[in-house]
Amino acid sequence: MRETIKKVIWVGDSIKQLKKFPIKVQRNIGYALYFAQRGELHPNAKPIKGFGSGIFEIVENFNSDTYRTVYAVQLAHGLYVLHAFQKKSKQGIKTPQKELDLIKDRLKRAKELAYD
């Protein structure tokens, strides 16, 4: 039996932003996305609150910086990477509102792509 691997669909400039991360972070996030492509949940991925089911966030810490990548799995045609960013907020672990707004906009765009 052949394993099904979902296609990765990059929304907005998410791939461009991911490529700005340190190489080690890029590799770790790529590996976590591979888990998601196979229908599995990597230990560094968790559901992100406020967006409904099927939206996950990968959190990677490196050299006292935090990098996050948000993706959607329950849309047609593949795995949608919505956003990748370095968290610079001084508000603890809370995701800054501007990042949440961008994720919301890109999720809307991903749904348009998935169901057009």
pLDDT at 33: 98
DSSP count for the chain of H helices, then E strands: 3, 5
Burial of 11 (C-beta count, 10 Å sphere; 0-12/13-18/19+): buried
Cα–Cα distance, 46 to 74 (Å, whole number): 15
Cα–Cα distance, 83 to 101 (Å, whole number): 11
Which of the residue ranges 5-9, 10-14, 74-78, 80-84 would you say has the lowest mean pLDDT?
74-78
pLDDT band, very low/low/confident/very high, at 92 (cuts 50, 70, 90): low
Which of 81, 76, 100 minimizes the C-alpha distance to 89?
100
Record the tokens describing residue 77, joined without a space: 């045609």
The CATH number that domain 8-115 falls under is: 3.30.2310.20
CB 44 within 8 A of CB 56: no
pLDDT tens-digit readout, 41-59: 999 999 998 888 999 999 9
Burial of 76 (C-beta count, 10 Å sphere; 0-12/13-18/19+): exposed
Looking at residue 8, its amino acid is V
| 22 or 52, which is more confident | 22
Q: Please report, rounded to a whole number, the percentage of residues in the chain having pLDDT higher than 70.
A: 93
Looking at residue 56, its amino acid is F
